[in-house]
Structure 1
Amino acid sequence: LASIANAWTRPGNPFTCEHVDDQIIPSMQALLKGFRKYDFPVVHVTTCYQITDRKNPNTDMGLWHNKIPIEVVAQSDPELWAIDSRIAPIEGEQLLVKKRASAFHGTYLAGYLRAAGVDTILITGVTASACVRETICDGLADGFRTIAVKEAIGDRVPGAVLWNLFDIDAKFGDVETTETCLKYLDRIGQAKLSVHP
C-alpha cells in the first residue's frame, strides 16, 4: 500500500512531511519496482472529500473538518490529492480514495486483497501518526500480516516517525528496512515464478 499524494509531498502545503525527497520517495520507487517486477498487487491510497462545507448535512468529512484544513483535501482540487507523479500508479494498479485515516475503514480494501490472495501487506507513506498507523492497526484486525517499511514512512511532526514505528513494531506489525523488504519480494517473487513460470 502506497499512500502519498501531492498535498503531503510538495513544498508549501499544510501537510508537507519531512524527508520526502531524500528518503521516502526513493524508497517507494525501489519498492514499486520490486512489486511490479513480480506483478504483485499495488494499491495507491489518497484522501479527498466531495463536500467540505461543514454546514452541509451531506458532507463526507464527518467531523474531520474540525481538525484538518479542508481546502487541502477538497475533491475539487485534484492536483493536491493526486498521487505524487514520481510514484504514480501505472495501468492496472488500484487507486483507492479514502475518507478516514485508515485505508481499510469503510473501503473495499480488505475484500480486494483477499480476492487477490494477499496475506501480507507492506505499508508505506504518510503520516506515521495517523494514516499509516491506523491502516496498520486495521490491517492486523482484518487478519493481514502488516509490515511498515521504515524508510518509506514520514510525518510532519519531528520525532513522530520514530515513536510510531517503535510502537507499531511492539504491538501491531513488523518494521523492516527497504532493503529487507526488497529481498522478501525477490524471495516470494521467485517462488511465485517457479510455480507459475
Structure 2
Amino acid sequence: MLHIKEKKMSDVDAKELDRLLQQAFDTASKLYQDRGFQRRVGFGKRPALVSVDLANAWTRPGNPFTCDQEKMDNEIIPGMQKLLKAFRAQNLPVIHVTTAYEITDRNAPFTDMGLWHDKIPVDVVDLAKPELWAIDSRIAPVPGEYTLLKKRASSFHGTELAGILRANGVDTILVTGVTACACVRQTICDGIADGFRTIAVKEAIGDRVPGAVAWNLFDIDAKFGDVHTVDECVAYIDGLAQTAVAAE
C-alpha cells in the first residue's frame, strides 16, 4: 500500500466541531420537522446487511482511501462483528461490497474507471492486487455470503444488487461501511429509490474527514433512511427470530 501521513485533529478541536455540528442539527431539525421531513421508513420483515467498501484499502493504514483508524478499529469493525453474528445466526443475507478496477492506466484509451479517476485516485485500487480490495479479514465473508464488485460510488449503480435482493425477498437493507459522504450515502439514496427500506447503522459508518459522518447521518435520517445504533439493529434481528418462533 502507499504510505500516507495523516494529521489528526486534537481532542479540543474535535469536541468543538461536534458542538458546532450539534448546534446546527438542532436548528435544522426544527426546520425539517416543521416542513414534514424526518419521517420514519421503518424496519421491514426480511433484511439484508450491505457492507460498503470495508476492504483493506479503506480499513487499513497506508492508502489514499484509508479512513479514520481510531473509529475503524474501535467502532466500525466491532460493530460489524456484532451485526455479522446476528445475521449469521438467523441465516439472513449478507453482501460485502468492494471496489477495484482492471484497467488503471490513466492514459489508456479505454478504462473501467470511467471519468472518476479525474477526481479521486481510484487508479490505486488495482484488481490485480487483491490485498487492496479484499474484505478486511476481521469481518471476512463466510460461505453463503456474497462479495459484490462495484465501479462507482453506489453499490446499486450498474450492479446486480437490486436483483439479488429482490430475488431473495429482501425488503430492508442495513447499510454499513465507508465513506459516509460518498459510497455509503449513494448506496442508501439508491436503495430507497429502488424501493428498499434503508437503515444506516450509526457506529458502523466511517469517513476520512472530521464531521463528515455526523453531517451525513443527520441528513440521511432527515431524507433518505433511518439511522439506528448497532444495538438497535441487533435487537431488530433478534426480534425477527422470536416472531418466527411465535408464529410456528
Aligning the two structures, in what range does the TM-score lie when normalised by the shorter sequence? over 0.9
SS of residue in 2 equivalent to 1:97: strand
Matched with 1:144 is 196
Q: What displacement does 1:181 show?
A: 0.3
One-letter code aligned to 2:63: N
Q: Do residues 77 (structure 1) and 125 (structure 2) align? A: no
Offset of 1:193 from its aligned partner? 4.5
1:85-136 superposed Cα distances (whole Å, 9 cap, x missing partner): 0001001100000000000000010010011110000000000000000000
Paired with 1:29 and 1:156, the residues of 2 have a C-alpha distance of 21
Q: Structure 1 residues 13-22 or 169-178, which shifts more?
A: 13-22
1:175 alignment counterpart? 227
Instruction: Say which of 140, 147, 164 aligns to 1:95.
Output: 147
How much does 1:195 deviate? 5.0
Name the amino acid aligned to 1:192: A
Partner AA of 2:233 in structure 1:
C
Separation in 2, partners of 1:64, 1:27: 30
Alignment correspondent of 1:11: 61
Q: C-alpha distance in 2, partners of 1:193/1:93?
A: 24
CA contact (8 A) 1:7 1:72 kept: no
Greater Cα radius of gyration, structure 1 or 2 = 2
Change (3 A) 1:193 1:41: farther
- TM-score, normalisation: structure 1: 0.96
Which residue, 208, 212, 217 being the options, matches 1:165?
217
> Unaligned 5+ residue runs, structure 1?
none
Q: Could you give the per-residue CA deviations for residues 31-87 of structure 1, whole angstroms, max 9, x where no partner exists? A: 000000000000000000011123323311110111222443111111011000000
Whether contact under 8 Å (2:180, 2:205) holds in the other structure is yes
Matched, 1:46 2:94: no
Where do 4+ consecutive residues of structure 1 move more than 2 Å? 54-58, 189-196
Partner Cα distance (1:153, 1:68) in 2 = 20
Contact residue 120 and residue 145 of structure 1 kept, 8 A: yes
Mapping for residues 28-43 of structure 1, pairs under 5 Å: 28-43=80-95
Asked whether 1:2 is paired with 2:51, we answer yes
Distance in 2, matches of 1:72 and 1:129, equals 20
Q: Note the residue ranges of structure 2 that are not aligned, 5 or more in a row.
A: 1-49
Name the aligned partner's letter for residue 51 of structure 2: A
2:175 alignment partner, one of 123, 139, 143: 123
* CA shift in 2, pair 1:52/1:188, >3 Å: same
Aligned residue-pair number = 196
Secondary structure in structure 1 of the residue aligned to 2:199: strand
Does the 8 A contact of 2:94 with 2:145 survive in 1? Answer: yes
What's the Cα RMSD here?
A: 1.2
Question: TM-score normalised to the size of structure 2?
Answer: 0.77
**What SS does the aligned partner of 2:182 have?**
helix
Question: Would you say the 8 A contact 1:73–1:81 is kept in 2?
Answer: yes
